[in-house]
Structure 1
Amino acid sequence: MSASKKTAGFLTLPQEILMEILSKLPTKTLVRFRLVSKFFCALIADHAFGVVHRSFSLTLPSRAGFLISIELRTPPLTPLRRSYYTLNFSPGMVQANRVGFLDADPFLLSSSSDGLICVSKPKGDVVVCNVSTGQRISLPRMQYKDCAPHLGYDSQSKRYKVLMATQMIDQESNSYEYKLWIFTVGVDRSWREINNCGSYTFQPMDGYPSFYDSNTCVYIDGIIYSYNSANKYSLSLFHRFHIETFEVGCESFSVITLPNEVSSQIYLDIKNPALLEVGGRLAMVLVHVQYSQPGGGECYMDVWTWEKFEKKCWEKITITIPLEWRRIIYNAKCLRFASNHDGEIVLLCVYIGQLFIFVCNLKSEIWRKFDVSGVEDFPIFSYWEVALNNIVDHVFPLE
């Protein structure tokens, strides 16, 4: 039977059956499938199919993974190097696979729940990229330094939006001013400035953690959540922390107050406080290390989850970090977080020039350690800045 007859027979199946069959295929195969006919191209590009395919991908470890970006800080006057890798888990080992087409884009800042990433360059260039298909779109350049883009999806318009906070310094008063901008991918020709009418000013975390730390912001089900420490009346670094929320569809802001316990300790013994999605809910992950005890004293992890519907309150789980791995986490130069398809917490550590990954099951409180292979060997004097993001195999088009 000829290929054309096989295709014709395939097309006689009900569309629901076709969608179910195609949803089980990886994105790279679907990209090739779009070239078969106009029918397949339209079906695979349909938003409803994208939802089915993404939902199925979230259930498969092989299609719901992680992307890391490594920035190599080398000696003065030498070019800055950055590399990107996807991670594949196997028993006792994590294999890192180079994503070469991303190497030209400096900073990995944000990832939507659909698996897209948003990267930017120091001079204001912003790129939205689908890691699965390689599709990328460059947005208009912002003429501001220290731009912080965050990516989200508007389910009403079925469009992706990028929220940008730009920082300007008033030299006379030595104070900061933040402006907010929105760009709707596939619709806007330029950035739109928007106002935050609340009492707080949405801004990136520019003090602690790192300004380019991907764990200070997370997108969940139409909302961008971000750590914030300043309001319109006080820009003090030690102002009470809170979480600012931005609803992508209606472009509105609100505030979530942190527990007193967290707000009072966040500058003391907490290492890289992170915002994550765990089981579909907003979660704060706080690793406590007792620096007063050299060599790795008490070390544990608090996971706070936000119940936003009925209770509207924080719930806490405290988990002890195994003694044999405390030294690595205690002395890690870089500590990043993510969550996997099972709702487990994933910690990535940079320790003595090596990458280590720890996975914690919140229900059983069992920890697993993985060594990472496949990452380039960098000189021992180098310092790594690492970002860790969730990615999902999917075919959602950017436009």
Structure 2
Amino acid sequence: MATLSHDMTLDILRCLSVNDLLRFKCVSKFWCSWIEDPYFIKLHLSYSLKTNTNRSLIVRYCKYQFLSVNYDSPKTTRSLKQPLSEQKKYIQILGSCNGLLAVEDDDGRILLWNPSTRKYQVLPSTEIEFPSPPIRCSRSTYYGFGYDPVSDDYKLVRIVQLLGAKDEYFHSEAKVYSLRSNSWRRIKDFCFYFISYRQLGFLANNVLHLLAFKTPESSKRDLVGFDLRSEEFSLVELPDFCLDENIYFDVKAMGGYLCLSATYWELGDIVADVWIMKEYGVKESWVKLMSSTYPDLLLCSPSEVPLAFSKNGDKVLFHFKLNRDIRDSLVWYDLGSKRIEEVGIRGVPIVYDVDLYVESLVPLNLKPPRGKFSLFNCILLWKYEFLFLEIKIDVF
């Protein structure tokens, strides 16, 4: 009987969906060991990221219900069970990276959740180590979640700031949670101000980002990055037009790039531009991706969010919240024709939140890869197992 080579077998399996691979784990203990091998998990994830496959949208509605939507075929949807056994718990997504979601419930518990494998882990709680604050003060909290390729670790960053009235009191605390050690630790304090109740970070180039002020009185927002590898904060330069107080801008991450949306008045029209930083950290690499005039498309307000590029990069997916039709919607914006096409998703309610994630086998109990050799051993055992089954069939 003709058999596939090791490389051909790997090429086939790395292209499969997570659901198919989870079903194949039931074939035998060898298949199970093979699919759970850290080397294969990284191989499968790397292929998905490189080819823009196995991508899904996770839609949250009614504050506690989740729906997974196939990115390439939006009509394909499936309901997701909450990571906690309690029903109707309010859950907010804090960040997404490589198929893992950092989420928080209304009791303040933080979890890491892989919706594809339906596994989750509750993070240990950590106290806020503040001296006694004054009675009247405002509290701001930042969360960011990402992957550190140097230590092969997933990290959640939390920054909490207390600011007293008239700035007579200020305290800032930054901590990092490590999935590999399953513990929190204090890091160097954040020396900027983010005057908002809650802010969520966005990940690009293994760096978490947020918009902040150098002083509480400042009207100029700076883009600050936290490198997950060195665990250092630094400024990321924005285009010069961001200094114009008549321009409203916001920064997110899209397709691995920093993405800046800017809205301003020009000759009586509202103009919306989208810029991306082609080379991370290089100010001159900011390039304009698209420009549109209201009412065709109004970006950069809190109600329109660029989510991702299409598979071939010629379209951008936007999430419109409470637009002119008084309901949320997802639309494709064609960069060439500048046309808008609404994305119909079955079973989605009027109002919802949406995030992009890649379906993966990434586990919550990180283990060092055993190497390619161990995976090939599994392949050989699998072949011998099938040979043994053939012999038994011939005997009977």
TM range (shorter): 0.7 to 0.9
Aligned partner of residue 313 in structure 1, secondary structure: helix
**TM-score of the superposed pair, with normalisation by structure 1:** 0.73
| Residue of 292, 297, 307 corresponding to 2:279 | 307
Moved more, 245-254 or 367-376: 367-376
| Residue of 178, 185, 191 corresponding to 1:192 | 185
Moved more, 343-352 or 176-185: 343-352
Partner of 2:287: 316
Q: Distance in 2 between matches of 1:394 and 1:290?
A: 43
Amino acid at match of 2:99: G
Greater Rg by CA: 2
Deviations along 1:243-268, whole A, 9 cap, x unmatched? 22222123222211222212334xx4
Q: Distance in 1 between matches of 2:261 and 2:181?
A: 36
Q: Distance in 2 between matches of 1:312 and 1:332?
A: 24
Q: Does 1:56 align with 2:47?
A: yes
Amino acid at match of 2:248: I
Amino acid at match of 2:236: I
Alpha carbons of 1:185 and 1:308: their partners in 2 closer, same or farther (altered >3 Å)?
same
Q: Distance in 2 between matches of 1:353 and 1:96?
A: 23
Aligned partner of residue 155 in structure 2, secondary structure: strand
Q: Does 1:230 align with 2:221?
A: no
Partner of 2:235: 255
**TM-score of the superposed pair, with normalisation by structure 2:** 0.74
Q: Distance in 2 between matches of 1:332 and 1:221?
A: 25
Partner of 1:359: 332
Partner of 1:388: 354
Contact conserved, 1:125 with 1:142, CA < 8 A, in 2? no
Q: Distance in 1 between matches of 2:102 and 2:111?
A: 6
Amino acid at match of 2:304: L
Deviations along 1:243-297, whole A, 9 cap, x unmatched? 22222123222211222212334xx4536x231133x4322233x264997xxx4
Deviations along 1:10-48, whole A, 9 cap, x unmatched? 9x7544333222112211221232344443333323333
| Residue of 51, 55, 79 corresponding to 1:98 | 79
Gaps in structure 2 of 5+ consecutive residues: 129-138, 366-396
Amino acid at match of 1:303: W
Contact conserved, 2:278 with 2:287, CA < 8 A, in 1? no
Contact conserved, 2:208 with 2:225, CA < 8 A, in 1? yes
Alpha carbons of 1:249 and 1:59: their partners in 2 closer, same or farther (altered >3 Å)?
closer
Aligned partner of residue 53 in structure 1, secondary structure: helix
Q: Distance in 1 between matches of 2:302 and 2:243?
A: 24
Contact conserved, 1:105 with 1:119, CA < 8 A, in 2? no
Partner of 2:376: none
Amino acid at match of 1:270: Y
Partner of 1:168: 162
Aligned partner of residue 354 in structure 1, secondary structure: coil
Gaps in structure 1 of 5+ consecutive residues: 1-8, 73-80, 378-383
Alpha carbons of 1:101 and 1:325: their partners in 2 closer, same or farther (altered >3 Å)?
same
Partner of 2:260: 284
Partner of 2:30: 39
Alpha carbons of 1:155 and 1:300: their partners in 2 closer, same or farther (altered >3 Å)?
same
Deviations along 1:133-177, whole A, 9 cap, x unmatched? 111111012345754331111223222111111223457955442
Aligned partner of residue 363 in structure 2, secondary structure: coil
Aligned partner of residue 298 in structure 1, secondary structure: strand
Amino acid at match of 1:121: D
Q: Distance in 2 between matches of 1:98 and 1:202?
A: 40
Q: Distance in 1 between matches of 2:76 and 2:291?
A: 27
Contact conserved, 2:90 with 2:105, CA < 8 A, in 1? yes
Cα drift, residue 193 of structure 1: 0.5
Partner of 2:68: 86
Amino acid at match of 1:153: Y
Contact conserved, 1:355 with 1:372, CA < 8 A, in 2? no
Alpha carbons of 1:318 and 1:60: their partners in 2 closer, same or farther (altered >3 Å)?
closer
Q: Distance in 2 between matches of 1:325 and 1:312?
A: 29
Q: Distance in 2 between matches of 1:152 and 1:254?
A: 17
Superposed CA RMSD: 3.5
Partner of 2:371: none
Q: Distance in 2 between matches of 1:54 and 1:48?
A: 10
Alpha carbons of 1:115 and 1:201: their partners in 2 closer, same or farther (altered >3 Å)?
farther
Q: Distance in 2 between matches of 1:136 and 1:221?
A: 26
Aligned partner of residue 304 in structure 1, secondary structure: strand
Partner of 1:6: none
Q: Does 1:337 align with 2:306?
A: yes
Aligned partner of residue 41 in structure 2, secondary structure: helix
Contact conserved, 2:304 with 2:319, CA < 8 A, in 1? yes
Moved more, 35-44 or 347-356: 35-44
Q: Distance in 2 between matches of 1:230 and 1:357?
A: 32
Alpha carbons of 1:330 and 1:46: their partners in 2 closer, same or farther (altered >3 Å)?
closer
Q: Does 1:274 align with 2:251?
A: yes
Q: Does 1:157 align with 2:126?
A: no
Contact conserved, 2:64 with 2:82, CA < 8 A, in 1? no
Q: Distance in 1 between matches of 2:290 and 2:166?
A: 48
Alpha carbons of 1:157 and 1:285: their partners in 2 closer, same or farther (altered >3 Å)?
same
Aligned partner of residue 22 in structure 2, secondary structure: helix
Contact conserved, 2:94 with 2:143, CA < 8 A, in 1? yes
Amino acid at match of 2:271: C
Alpha carbons of 1:330 and 1:56: their partners in 2 closer, same or farther (altered >3 Å)?
closer
Count of matched residue positions in the alignment of Structure 1 and Structure 2: 347
Partner of 1:75: none
Amino acid at match of 1:319: M
Q: Distance in 2 between matches of 1:99 and 1:291?
A: 45
Aligned partner of residue 122 in structure 2, secondary structure: strand
